[in-house]
Amino acid sequence: MLRILIVLGALAACLAAPTNETLPGKIVGGTTAAISQFPHMLALMNANNAQFCGASIISNNWGVSAAHCTVGFSANQLRVRAGSSQVNSGGSIHVVSQIINHASYNARTLNNDISLIRVATPFVFGTNVRAIGLRTTELTTGTYTTVTGWGAIRAGGAGSATLLQVSVPVVAPATCANQYSGITNGMLCAGYAAGGKDSCQGDSGGPLISGGLLVGVVSWGGVCAAANQPGVYAKVSFYRSWIQTNSGV
């Protein structure tokens, strides 16, 4: 059975899985990461400061995440932690003041799985807190990307207390479409044919980056790190105009 990066945690809304696909995002086969390497990284938390998804800073008051992480929540139920590689401590906590889920988000197919979150108090930029630029063009097949998060280190396992990173290559759209039904132009696939490295539960909404730019948002996939089951990400270049229209970024 395939994984969908499902949001778990208090007050999380129940989400329908894509047909024949189940279980969303974590880092498998990765290494620890310093927040100074990924200062755009945000931990998305519930009102009890429990992390259940990731997000990325794109300006001093906006972040981007996955719609399946934010649908079902009101803004005052969410927080983000910025500037810390530790999921439960450090950095600064910001109350979310606005959520914008993509109007065409489909909880069954996970098409248009992208959302914007605005914080009530602006991020203060420095070594450990910084916005990331947004890619406007598609990546070439085989390009290496990096995904980060606090998700589980094995399928069905507990999340990591420390930020993790893993490098995965972009998979050709046709190859990904042969593996999964429902791949759209707004999705990007990345992973190894042999498996072993991947995002998984708890990484949902977090960043996939390449060349210092945000290229994807962790969305869904098959069994974490399994052979021929790459991770699927919302393609940032496809949603670039939507982001600009709704956030001004």
Pair of tokens at residue 203: 């990484």
- Report the pLDDT value the prediction gives residue 54, as an integer from 0 to 100: 97
As given in the structure block, the two tokens for residue 125 are: 């930029």
Q: Please tell me which residue in 65, 113, 115, 160 is annotated as part of the active site.
A: 113
pLDDT at 3 over 90: no
Query: Is-contact 65 217, C-beta < 8 A?
Result: yes
> Domain containing 217 — which CATH number?
2.40.10.10
Catalytic entry in 68, 94, 160, 203? 68
| C-alpha R_g of the chain | 16
Encoded tokens for 177: 């479409």
Indicate if 198 belongs to the active site.
Answer: no
Separation between Cα atoms, residue 10 and residue 69, nearest integer Å:
12
Containing structural domain, residue 75: 1-249
112, 105 Cβ separation under 8 angstroms: yes
Among 48, 46, 62, 53, CA closest to 100: 62
The region of weakest confidence among 29-33, 60-64, 114-118, 176-180 is: 29-33
- Is 113 a residue of the active site? yes
CA 72 to chain centre: 17
pLDDT cut 70: percent of the chain above it: 80
Question: What pairing do the DSSP bridges indicate for beta strands 213-221 and 133-134?
Answer: parallel
Total domains present in the chain: 1
- 193 pLDDT band, cuts 50/70/90, is confident
SS3 36: helix
Catalytic residue among 84, 199, 204, 247: 204
The yes-or-no answer on residue 68 being catalytic is: yes
- Mean pLDDT of the region 85-89: 96
Residue 23 clears pLDDT 90, i.e. is over it:
no
pLDDT digits (tens, 9 = 90+) for 113-152: 999 999 999 999 999 999 999 999 999 999 999 999 998 6
